Structure 1
Amino acid sequence: MFARTARRQLQSSTGLSCIARSFSSTAPVRTDFTHVIIGGGVVGLAIARSLASYHATHNPNTTSSTLLLERHPHLGTETSSRNSEVIHGGLYYPPDSLKTRLCIAGREQLYDLCNKYSIPHRKTGKWIVAQDAAQLESLERIHETCKSTLGVPTRFLTKTEARNAEPDVRAEAGVLESPETGIVDSHALMTALRGLFEDAGGTVAVNSSVTSITPLPTSPSSLPGSSGYVLTVQDTTTGEPSRITASTVINSAGLHACTIHNLLAPAARHITPFYAKGNYFAYTSPRPRVSRLIYPVVTPGSGGLGTHLTLDLASRIRFGPDVEWVADPTSLSVTASRLPAAVAEIRKYLPGIEVDALAPDYAGIRPKLRRAGAEGKGKDGFVDFYVRREDGFEGWVNLLGIESPGLTSSLAIGGLVREMLVGSKSGRGVDEAPAL
């Protein structure tokens, strides 16, 4: 698949001879593609669409080209389609973090995109429910930060409001509402982003696994990558390898981003990822009935936001994800033995749950750079998104540990990467992450 897709693109511009180009020269060379994005999840799609749209709008007469590589037969089959499909408000993370800034900006952009292109979504709102004084204190801190620093709408409900709105939900100490939280059809979103990318002249190659990346030769005084990169890409259906060159490489490979990073980074900077599996359980009973998302207060160091209640666009209830640390990022079967622990967590805020109506639904894997919590601090606490131009290289943008709220943040991440590579018309943007 890759060979056919790449050759079709190259024939239209540079000819087949460029695939077999000699890389021994240190003189500047014309690369096959301006940008190559590795990883066709929602974030990779958003980056690809942002770059291709920029060049189509601002440089329509140039030969700029953007290629999106995906190793699976279809786009977005890993973390992007195995999550809660929540549009997050941006409540939990440190105010100066990339997660907070990209989530808030991305949320607004995502709602706009969904409205513009009729992507199925709904602004459901969300409750975070506290069961004791300590949890209420945590909610008060979140509310104060949202009000005084972030400008994110939140409000406390009275007991009467909460009881009237959701009589089956237990919230012994208080309820903090996030009215801007919602849900989105992630598959429809990715289909729309692919269409926008291809309409802007971009090329998608599935079944295309990157097996090596090497900077093209350059002068001794220049950084590696100054002349571009050569990538070896294996067609996963035939095993056939192809070589292409790119001026810039964007690593957005999700669960396998550390593997791609280690292909190019020196050994001293290699990274070993962690994988947090989240199990989801479907609920088939009509009672209790809930009309919005319900989240517990985050337990520091838990690795996630707790086993929460989410809805799909047909208003079906599901619970999850929990956090199960695994060694294998392809371990996607639901661990049914974790259901009793999930029930215990669910009953804290939905005591009327019918256990017999719960069944394993699906599981997803979140890439982690550390065994860390969502909002904790300290050595084992909060870990931010890693989005930066990699030190010591030219034209290499690295995205590592892109988990929740990656779906919500995806469009803003796309804009940030575009600004890193081609600049911003306004000259303003979100700063990149610090080095690891």
Structure 2
Amino acid sequence: MQQHPSCIPRILHGRSASSSASSSSSSSEFAVDHLVIGGGVVGLAVAARLAESHPNASTLLLERHPQFGMETSSRNSEVIHAGIYYPNDSLKTKLCVQGNHLLYRYCKSKNVPFSRIGKWIVAVSADEADYLSTLQQKFDKIKHPEQEQLRFLSASERELEPNVKSTEVLLSSSTGIIDSHALMGALESDFLSTGGMVAYRSNVVGIEYSRSSASYRIQLEGSDEAIEARCVVNAAGLSSDRIAGLLLDPLPPDYTLHYCKGRYFCLRGNQPLVSRLIYPVPEKNLVGLGVHCTLDLAGKLKFGPDTKYVTDAANLSVDDITEDELDQACRAIQRYLRGIRREDLCMDYAGMRPKLSGPSGSFRDFVVAEESGRGFPGFVNLIGIESPGLTSSLAIADRVEALLHHPATL
């Protein structure tokens, strides 16, 4: 392995930059073919895909934290979604449906813990039952061939979960749960084993494009040296609009993120009220899918997330909840689940979602864009990758690889 410059403070594994990489404009610079910014589940999936598909090219992953997945990827519901809720022609739907299939296949091949326990989507009124019928018809048009059709449960089947209140229940059998940390560990291992390079504690503070060399100079915090890259993928999650703004000046208004905090609740004593994922019908004008009920692989019950827009992406405290907010979350859960008392609810953890829509905004799709139209070929922005980003991660990786190397196939 070559001696890497001080601008890369901690390379876990790697090899010399490929001879196909651009020649450095300075002898002190380190040149690579692919550079991925962000070590969450999406960044790891993209880096692994590029390294696997292009073994003769060099790929470097930069992450500003000491290890992978320390933001959105490790603070979510850990649900493998089916792709039910979003517009049929949206990237969220297409990538989630494709990603659902790819993720189950990957977990089986890499022994990543998961459980396909299924999800009940619960209606408690006639209007909500009509919504479920519409959802069922929609899913039949978009589902992957290996996904089972959504189906309504009989009255006797609904008795399997006696604590669930319902007039109708729609079963999504292709929904499951996953160990997100094990998934990220497997992706990092795949990346490193194919010659990829990872640098943690590497915060990107500058990006410049050289038209003469058709390459990007990446500046890291605390270093006078730079990294040169032919292709750059911005998978920086909560910081993705900041990273995009280092190159795109001014930043397009539709690339601006809103930080949406979601707090999760648990029950004192971890009462075994249900054995499946239970989702209410999303309320009208509500951001997200509501306060749903999920299980982790250890059987722990949790409720969430709620929705609170904040200005500080690092604000993950669960101590800021008000009595009114706790009452509101409790009422939302009691609407579809028996045996819930306010005094039994306690705070568990909080996550942060990088949303492109504000508190009163309408649906906004994932941004997965190669910026050659703005004069920056080989630069891909991934912005607003919130739920179902974990489920979609492998499909996003496939799309990024195609954008960079096979655009005619898209």
Answer whether TM exceeds 0.5 for this pair.
Answer: yes
Check if 1:228 corresponds to 2:215: yes
- 1:299 corresponds, among 279, 283, 292, to 283
Check if 1:254 corresponds to 2:237: yes
CA distance in 2, matches of 1:363, 1:116: 31
CA distance in 1, matches of 2:198, 2:71: 17
* Secondary structure, aligned partner of 1:3: coil
Q: TM-score, normalized by length of structure 1?
A: 0.85
Aligned position for 1:376: none
* Secondary structure, aligned partner of 2:225: strand
Q: Cα deviation per residue 1:37-79 (whole Å; 9 max; x = unaligned)?
A: 11100000000000000012xxxxx3x1000000011111100
Check if 1:330 corresponds to 2:324: no
- For the aligned residue pairs, the C-alpha RMSD in angstroms reads 2.3
Aligned position for 2:164: 169
Identity score, percent: 45
8 Å CA contact retained: 1:19, 1:242: no
8 Å CA contact retained: 2:207, 2:246: yes
* Secondary structure, aligned partner of 1:301: coil
Q: 1:330 to 1:130 in 2, by over 3 A?
A: same
Q: Cα deviation per residue 1:58-103 (whole Å; 9 max; x = unaligned)?
A: xxxx3x1000000011111100000000000111011111111100
Q: 1:7 to 1:120 in 2, by over 3 A?
A: closer
Q: 1:137, CA displacement in angstroms?
A: 1.2
* Secondary structure, aligned partner of 2:338: coil
Check if 1:98 corresponds to 2:73: no
Q: 1:241, CA displacement in angstroms?
A: 4.2
Q: 1:155 to 1:2 in 2, by over 3 A?
A: farther
Q: 1:384 to 1:372 in 2, by over 3 A?
A: farther
8 Å CA contact retained: 2:259, 2:311: yes
CA distance in 2, matches of 1:183, 1:359: 22
Aligned position for 1:377: none
Listed as ranges, the matches of 1:188-199 within 5 Å are: 188-199=182-193
Q: How many residues align?
A: 393
Q: 1:287 to 1:241 in 2, by over 3 A?
A: same
8 Å CA contact retained: 2:270, 2:300: no
Check if 1:281 corresponds to 2:265: yes
8 Å CA contact retained: 1:288, 1:352: no
- 1:207 corresponds, among 201, 208, 213, to 201
Q: Cα deviation per residue 1:350-386 (whole Å; 9 max; x = unaligned)?
A: 121143332111100101112268xxxxxx3211111
8 Å CA contact retained: 1:43, 1:410: yes
Aligned position for 1:37: 36
Q: 1:288, CA displacement in angstroms?
A: 5.1
CA distance in 1, matches of 2:224, 2:122: 53
Q: Cα deviation per residue 1:252-305 (whole Å; 9 max; x = unaligned)?
A: 100000001111002162543211100001223354520100001012331110
Q: 1:119, CA displacement in angstroms?
A: 0.5
* Greater mean alpha carbon deviation, residues 145-154 or residues 317-326: 145-154
Check if 1:369 corresponds to 2:356: yes
Q: Which runs of 5+ in 2 are unaligned?
A: 1-5
* Secondary structure, aligned partner of 1:294: strand
CA distance in 2, matches of 1:354, 1:288: 14
Listed as ranges, the matches of 1:29-428 within 5 Å are: 32-56=31-55, 62=56, 64-150=57-143, 152=147, 153-163=149-159, 165-171=160-166, 173-218=167-212, 227-234=214-221, 239-267=222-250, 269=252, 271-285=255-269, 287=271, 289-334=273-318, 335-337=320-322, 338-371=325-358, 380-390=361-371, 391-392=373-374, 393-423=376-406, 428=409
CA distance in 1, matches of 2:76, 2:346: 17
Query: Aligned partner of 1:251: which letter?
Result: N
Q: 1:346, CA displacement in angstroms?
A: 0.5
8 Å CA contact retained: 2:14, 2:196: no
Q: 1:308 to 1:31 in 2, by over 3 A?
A: same
8 Å CA contact retained: 1:283, 1:316: no
Q: 1:295 to 1:416 in 2, by over 3 A?
A: same
Query: Aligned partner of 2:364: which letter?
Result: V
CA distance in 1, matches of 2:17, 2:59: 14
CA distance in 1, matches of 2:27, 2:7: 21
Q: Cα deviation per residue 1:131-166 (whole Å; 9 max; x = unaligned)?
A: 111111111110011124435521011222102x10
Query: Aligned partner of 1:108: which letter?
Result: H
* Secondary structure, aligned partner of 2:88: coil
